[in-house]
Chain A
Amino acid sequence: MQSDKSLLLEVDHPQAAECRKAIAPFAELERSPEHIHTYRLTPLGLWNARVAGHDAEQVVDTLLTWSRYPVPHALLVDVAETMARYGRLRLEKHPVHGLVLASSDRPVLEEVLRAKKIAGMLGARIDDDTVAVHPSERGNLKQALLKLGWPAEDYAGYVDGEAHPIALAEDGWTLRDYQRDAAESFWHGGSGVVVLPCGAGKTLVGAAAMAHAQATTLILVTNTVSARQWKDELVRRTSLTEDEIGEYSGTVKEIRPVTIATYQVITTKRKGVYPHLELFDARDWGLIVYDEVHLLPAPIFRMTADLQARRRIGLTATLVREDGREGDVFSLIGPKRYDAPWKDIEAQGWIAPADCIEVRVSLPDASRMSYATADPEERYRLAACTPEKLGVVRDLVARHAGQPTLVIGQYLEQLDELATALDAPVITGQTTVKERQRLFDGFRSGEIGLLVVSKVANFSIDLPTAEVAIQVSGSFGSRQEEAQRLGRLLRPGSPGPDGERKVARFYTVVARDTVDAEFAQNRQRFLAEQGYAYRIVDAEDLTGA
């Protein structure tokens, strides 16, 4: 137990697994490199634990039991105080006044009522301990209360929504244990977020949640291709037929009992208004599924604030948001309901193990000179797109000939160049959806062995056959992107003829001594923190690696 409220867990200790189980409910796993995992106590984590029914005494006891060294008293006091903050305020349904904010702790209620930000959201004071809440402000109020450090527990319940029969069609496959657990903990909790690694089958958790809800469902996804995948998966895995599932995207605007919409179309703004907001009111939705909740754009948060009476499930591989809005996810979508470490699922064989290699190329002197004199904002592009990378990529592709390979990059010219040099099809934002589908299908079926893709392939594209990814450039140091790209490789393929499981290879080609290498370091650190050992090799030594 460290003074910055992080917990260090020695993985090789015989009792490590037991300890992990004990602390997992309240501590967030922050880093999981090979020997020592770092967990952190955060208010959100502690409140999540409260939601899951753990009290401060249990947490303190767990800390004392498992800590090898004395635990500073102040930290324990802090844990108890933080946990006691959750649930002092409750949102309830009042038989007469509708939605009310109630408290058993009058000073807290007073403090909150005096906060300027809250004043407009509340109605009349009903008695000393209860205040009426404008129903439309349910979400905003929760958000504001969290910011004040007094998160409210939401007991106000949900509307059932329009009933619609949905069942899982488990023919020849079954829900994995963790998927079932995840769906169930979500359902019992009401609303919340399920955290599962890329490739672990989050779609099925969504489907299972729908089967629980038995109601019309709105599914929000990142892009059209991903929407199609959701649709295919739902048709395949549930009793839903193609006619029951609508797509609401830039091209098609169908509203069906189960509707899949993209973030992009919903957040399109015309003349200062969001024309597609009607979608939320188009039906009496019983469940809303947010795919990749860590990417949820700000306008959707605002819209979600108005949907507090509907059940919400968020699906994500990581709650880390680059914009730091984890608190909004907590208050608007709901607390974390399920979480499983990547490595655990990998050990169960549900996601493929990966081998991460960073290949450093040296810039030739001429390039170094133009890099040195370039404008700072140009530097990354210059370094990332250095032609030196081409040779390395070619070597790598040749090395893994026969294995389905993705070359991922950020800059279109670079991708085009690579595609020409490698004689491979390229998919970018400009490629039509139809063409994309065709190429992805070809890749999946094995017709196409090599694809050059831009960041459109970062998310939610299911390419289970991919075994090798070569990353040539990225969005600066985004850890998020790194996780997503690695995620492309983690769908477990079928075991080879010799029974050996596939080991994914993830190459990152970076230019030495440039910002490219600095960004790569940031992303590599994320991989290492996820427990993926990685190596750094010089391009010249590649043949030996």
Chain B
Amino acid sequence: MRNSIARALDGLTRGELSVLDALVVAGQTTDPEVAAIVRAEPGYVAATLARLRDLAIAWDSPEGLRALSGVGDAMVGGPDAGVSGLRPRSAAPRPAAEIAEVLAALPSGARALLEHVIAEGGTAKTGSVRVGLRPEDTETPAELLVAHRLLVPGGSLMPGLLVVPGEVGLVVRGGRTTAEPVDVAPTVAAEERSPRLAASAALGAATDVVRRVGLLLEWWGTRPAAALRTAGLGVRELKAAATQLQVPEAEAALIVELAHEAGLAGTRADADGNPVWVPTSAFDEWAELSVAERWTVLARAWLSSPRLPSLVGERGPDQKPWNALTPELSAAGMPEAKAMTLAVLADLPEGHGLAAGTGLPSLVARVAWERPRRPRTRPDLVAWAVAEAAVLGLTGADVLAPYARVLLAGEDPAPVLAELLPPPVDHVLIQADLTAVAPGPLEPDLARRLQQVADVDSHGAATVYRFTPASVRRALDAGWTAAELHAFVLAASRTPVPQPLSYLIDDVVRSFGRLRVGLASSFVRSEDEAALAALVNHPKASGLGLQRIAPTVVVSSLPIDVLLLRLRELGLAPVVEGPDGVVRVGAPDALRARTPRTREVADAARAAARQAAQVVSAVATLREGDEAARSRPASASTAGGGVLSALREAIERGGAVLIGFTDNQGVVSERTVRPLVVEGGQLTAFDVDAEQDDPDAERRYAVHRISRVVPVS
């Protein structure tokens, strides 16, 4: 019950909440009485009461109009949330005139205290205030207020508190619940924009966002983006996407999120089993749609998305930067913030956009008035909604685009948008520098085919393609023939095909396929061409999968051991050739099975073998130790002050020493070094051991960690 009341209240404007607040203050009442105590147009109050009745927040009890019980408790927040701070009226309120008379006679201190209590929510702690005195016996302003029944004990509902009855508060506020009118929404600072600029900016952004989402996903389709463990997108991947899309990272984050929200991007495992971001199968369907339809999909996804791409790159509570596509990066209030923001923009006069500078704060204030009970991060949410709407092309120069208006009305914006978009062109202009310029958005089919045969040089409303040997080769790989390529460029180009392009195609075709790669398991080679011919044509060779690829080479799909046997069966005498071209001769393996043994014998044999092995290894270890001791440099280890002097001596000598030292992990190790200088308890030395990897391998060692210094020659 409480939740549903709160939810109903969340949907009210500040004005509506103020009327409801007045209803709570008034207790059981009538419509005219509510209208009398709300500082608003009577019409507004009547309409609001009707709405409250519709929502069943207010109802007509037999005794009169009243708010649903529980509403009073649910009315939280200050004046910003439409809460006047007045307590409900007493069951039998004193007439206003009588209260006014008492108030007029109050000394200024008591009056100030009363106003203070009202401003603080209408209650005060009883404390040492004595209750039940006559006015002339009171000693403090509080006691005087109590004596005049301007403050009354809270009773069992609010023990220990003194309460200003609603009727008193009303008189103090001049008969109304608030000092300010409640039915006036803050105006949004707007200014007129050139319609051409606004339309151009919005359409430009709308086509760009569609293009970029497509570009991103096509790119991910060929080069998937690594996903983080949290399923987010790493900073490096985002940077790469931003570069690819030629947008700042913040905008790239929005495009990435948009692609995901529209269901066009998802994760899957790559060949190594790591999660990667790739386009979904829905992307293929989406890519088939017209630009306007594609935009509609994206815009709808954005409107209902709780994601906060604007936070990407900012630091979260744990001081780590937020990654795009991180699941936590969303706020339930975001879709509402977007809807409210756009609704307010939709209310602006035709051709008006947010004023520069003051527009955004006033928009925030307006949204705050519309939905006062969702306060916390609203300024940010609204600002992000405005910025993101501009990127999506819902607005241009902060003016709501006509097709966005249709979208907000719940209808299909695609036809309206399609009307405004430039018509697709069906040709390109090919130039001698091997570029093909599409002077506008290309028809999807042509664009797709052109993308196969040429690289994209620059994107935008128009597209510049460039033919390169690599791109032509790619087309050939995709199955195009030279004739098809020539015919295609001829048909697509409105201008004569420049000679260098025709030449390029022929040139690439000429070298295409010069190297051939195939799959074979084994080969047969012979200097005797006739022998090979005989083999290939042998009636029993059909099962060998033989293919003659050169006069002296035949390849086979059979593995080498099988082929060898079969060739021998055919009465031939092949030998095996190793990778180095050397002939390997070997008698064929004769088959043997393992000799079966009894268990005991096996165990005894194994034990004996184990023992023998242990002895051998123990002896070897001992000998190695002896050997090492013998080969170690003669002089004994040095300790304490001996270390320092030994190091100094080595420095003077310029010779190398073997030092034993304990590292930070407590591991004792040895290095052969050439000491350079001892200073401040630190030895700087040239690490002879590391010399091979790093010719100037200077290392520092703490002298107190060095346990031994042994000169080596």
- Which residues in A have some Cβ–Cβ distance to B below 8 Å? 1-4, 6, 8, 10, 31, 33-36, 38, 64, 67-74, 76, 513, 524-525, 528-529, 532-536
Are A2 and B500 touching (Cβ within 8 A)? no
Are B437 and A8 touching (Cβ within 8 A)? yes
Check B362 for interface membership: any CB of A closer than 8 A: no
Closest 9 CB pairs of A and B: A2-B460, A69-B461, A528-B433, A70-B204, A73-B201, A70-B203, A33-B431, A70-B200, A72-B204
Check B559 for interface membership: any CB of A closer than 8 A: no
Q: Which of A35, A524, A532, A535 contacts B437 (CB 8 A)?
A: A35
Q: Which of B199, B204, B247, B439 has the most CB of A within 10 A?
A: B204
CB within 8 Å of A: which of B430-452?
431-435, 437, 439-440
Are B433 and A33 touching (Cβ within 8 A)? yes
- Which residues in B have some Cβ–Cβ distance to A below 8 Å? 196-197, 199-205, 207-208, 246-247, 251, 390, 396-397, 422, 429, 431-435, 437, 439-440, 458-462, 464, 495, 498-500, 503, 511
> How many whole Å from A168's CB to the nearest CB in chain B?
39
Q: Which of A34, A69, A72 contacts B205 (CB 8 A)?
A: A72
> How many whole Å from B647's CB to the nearest CB in chain A?
40
Are A2 and B437 touching (Cβ within 8 A)? no
Are B397 and A69 touching (Cβ within 8 A)? no
> How many whole Å from B320's CB to the nearest CB in chain A?
28
Tell me the bound Cα distance from A2 to B251 in angstroms.
Answer: 17
Q: Please name the residue on chain A nearest to B200 by beta carbon.
A: A70
Beyond known contacts A69-B462, A535-B500: 4 more, CB 8 A cutoff? A1-B460, A34-B431, A73-B204, A76-B201
Tell me the bound Cα distance from A68 to B441 in angstroms.
Answer: 11
Are A36 and B429 touching (Cβ within 8 A)? yes
> How many whole Å from B360's CB to the nearest CB in chain A?
15
Tell me the bound Cα distance from A244 to B539 in angstroms.
Answer: 99
Which residues of chain A have C-beta atoms less than 8 A from B503's C-beta?
A: 536
Q: Please name the residue on chain B nearest to A69 by beta carbon.
A: B461
Are B429 and A525 touching (Cβ within 8 A)? no
**Interface of A: prevailing SS:** mixed
Tell me the bound Cα distance from A35 to B429 in angstroms.
Answer: 7
Q: Which of B196, B246, B432, B437 contacts A533 (CB 8 A)?
A: B432
Which residues of chain A have C-beta atoms less than 8 A from B435's C-beta?
A: 31, 33, 36
Which residues of chain A have C-beta atoms less than 8 A from B422's C-beta?
A: 68-69
**Could you pull out 5 A-B pairs where Cβ atoms are within 8 angstroms?**
A4-B459, A35-B431, A36-B431, A73-B204, A532-B432
Are A528 and B432 touching (Cβ within 8 A)? yes
A2 with B462, Cβ < 8 A, contacts A64-B196, A71-B201 known: yes
Are A73 and B199 touching (Cβ within 8 A)? no
Q: Please name the residue on chain A nearest to B390 by beta carbon.
A: A73
Tell me the bound Cα distance from A65 to B208 in angstroms.
Answer: 19
Which residues of chain A have C-beta atoms less than 8 A from B251's C-beta?
A: 74
> How many whole Å from A411's CB to the nearest CB in chain B?
25
Which residues of chain B have C-beta atoms less than 8 A from A10's C-beta?
A: 429, 439
> How many whole Å from A429's CB to the nearest CB in chain B?
33
Which residues of chain A have C-beta atoms less than 8 A from B201's C-beta?
A: 70-73, 76
Are B433 and A31 touching (Cβ within 8 A)? yes
Tell me the bound Cα distance from A529 to B466 in angstroms.
Answer: 13
Are B459 and A3 touching (Cβ within 8 A)? yes
Tell me the bound Cα distance from A466 to B322 in angstroms.
Answer: 66
A64 with B440, Cβ < 8 A, contacts A2-B464, A72-B204 known: no
Q: Please name the residue on chain A nearest to B201 by beta carbon.
A: A73
Q: Please name the residue on chain A nearest to B204 by beta carbon.
A: A70
Tell me the bound Cα distance from A187 to B421 in angstroms.
Answer: 47
Are A534 and B432 touching (Cβ within 8 A)? yes
Q: Please name the residue on chain A nearest to B197 by beta carbon.
A: A64
Which residues of chain B have C-beta atoms less than 8 A from A534's C-beta?
A: 432, 500
> How many whole Å from B206's CB to the nearest CB in chain A?
8
Are B432 and A36 touching (Cβ within 8 A)? no
Tell me the bound Cα distance from A33 to B435 in angstroms.
Answer: 9
Tell me the bound Cα distance from A507 to B299 in angstroms.
Answer: 56
Which residues of chain A have C-beta atoms less than 8 A from B204's C-beta?
A: 69-73
Q: Please name the residue on chain B nearest to A60 by beta carbon.
A: B197
> How many whole Å from B317's CB to the nearest CB in chain A?
31
> How many whole Å from A424's CB to the nearest CB in chain B?
30
A533 with B200, Cβ < 8 A, contacts A2-B458, A68-B422 known: no
> How many whole Å from A81's CB to the nearest CB in chain B?
12
Are B439 and A36 touching (Cβ within 8 A)? yes
Which residues of chain B have C-beta atoms less than 8 A from A535's C-beta?
A: 499-500
Are B431 and A525 touching (Cβ within 8 A)? no
> How many whole Å from A483's CB to the nearest CB in chain B?
14
Which residues of chain A have C-beta atoms less than 8 A from B196's C-beta?
A: 64
Which residues of chain B have C-beta atoms less than 8 A from A8's C-beta?
A: 437, 439, 462, 464
Which residues of chain B have C-beta atoms less than 8 A from A524's C-beta?
A: 500
Are A513 and B511 touching (Cβ within 8 A)? yes
> How many whole Å from B404's CB to the nearest CB in chain A?
14
Tell me the bound Cα distance from A528 to B207 in angstroms.
Answer: 31
Q: Please name the residue on chain B nearest to A10 by beta carbon.
A: B439
Q: Please name the residue on chain B nearest to A8 by beta carbon.
A: B462
Are A34 and B432 touching (Cβ within 8 A)? yes
Tell me the bound Cα distance from A529 to B500 in angstroms.
Answer: 13
Are A536 and B500 touching (Cβ within 8 A)? yes
Tell me the bound Cα distance from A38 to B464 in angstroms.
Answer: 10
Q: Which of A3, A68, A70, A76 has the most CB of B within 10 A?
A: A70
Tell me the bound Cα distance from A73 to B439 in angstroms.
Answer: 20
Which residues of chain B have C-beta atoms less than 8 A from A73's C-beta?
A: 201, 204-205, 390, 396-397
> How many whole Å from B458's CB to the nearest CB in chain A?
5
Are B464 and A70 touching (Cβ within 8 A)? no
> How many whole Å from B484's CB to the nearest CB in chain A?
21
> How many whole Å from A266's CB to the nearest CB in chain B?
37
Tell me the bound Cα distance from A3 to B196 in angstroms.
Answer: 20
Q: Which of B429, B434, B440 has the most CB of A within 10 A?
A: B429
Which residues of chain A have C-beta atoms less than 8 A from B511's C-beta?
A: 513
A4 with B433, Cβ < 8 A, contacts A72-B205, A73-B390 known: no
Which residues of chain B have C-beta atoms less than 8 A from A76's C-beta?
A: 201
> How many whole Å from A490's CB to the nearest CB in chain B?
18
Are A35 and B495 touching (Cβ within 8 A)? yes
Which residues of chain A have C-beta atoms less than 8 A from B246's C-beta?
A: 3-4
Tell me the bound Cα distance from A76 to B197 in angstroms.
Answer: 10
Which residues of chain A have C-beta atoms less than 8 A from B434's C-beta?
A: 525, 528
Tell me the bound Cα distance from A333 to B422 in angstroms.
Answer: 44
Tell me the bound Cα distance from A529 to B432 in angstroms.
Answer: 8
Q: Please name the residue on chain A nearest to B504 by beta carbon.
A: A536
> How many whole Å from A522's CB to the nearest CB in chain B?
11
Tell me the bound Cα distance from A534 to B432 in angstroms.
Answer: 7
Tell me the bound Cα distance from A532 to B434 in angstroms.
Answer: 13
Are B390 and A6 touching (Cβ within 8 A)? no
Tell me the bound Cα distance from A20 to B251 in angstroms.
Answer: 32
Tell me the bound Cα distance from A2 to B429 in angstroms.
Answer: 16
Tell me the bound Cα distance from A4 to B459 in angstroms.
Answer: 7
Q: Please name the residue on chain A nearest to B202 by beta carbon.
A: A70
> How many whole Å from A37's CB to the nearest CB in chain B?
10
Tell me the bound Cα distance from A28 to B461 in angstroms.
Answer: 20
Which residues of chain B have C-beta atoms less than 8 A from A35's C-beta?
A: 429, 431, 437, 495
Are B459 and A2 touching (Cβ within 8 A)? yes
Q: Please name the residue on chain B nearest to A65 by beta carbon.
A: B196
Tell me the bound Cα distance from A4 to B196 in angstroms.
Answer: 23
Are B207 and A70 touching (Cβ within 8 A)? yes
Q: Which of A6, A64, A68, A69 contacts B458 (CB 8 A)?
A: A6
Tell me the bound Cα distance from A67 to B422 in angstroms.
Answer: 12
Q: Please name the residue on chain A nearest to B395 by beta carbon.
A: A73
Which residues of chain B have C-beta atoms less than 8 A from A529's C-beta?
A: 433
Q: Which of B202, B246, B432, B437 has the most CB of A within 10 A?
A: B432
Q: Which of B200, B422, B460, B462 has the most CB of A within 10 A?
A: B460
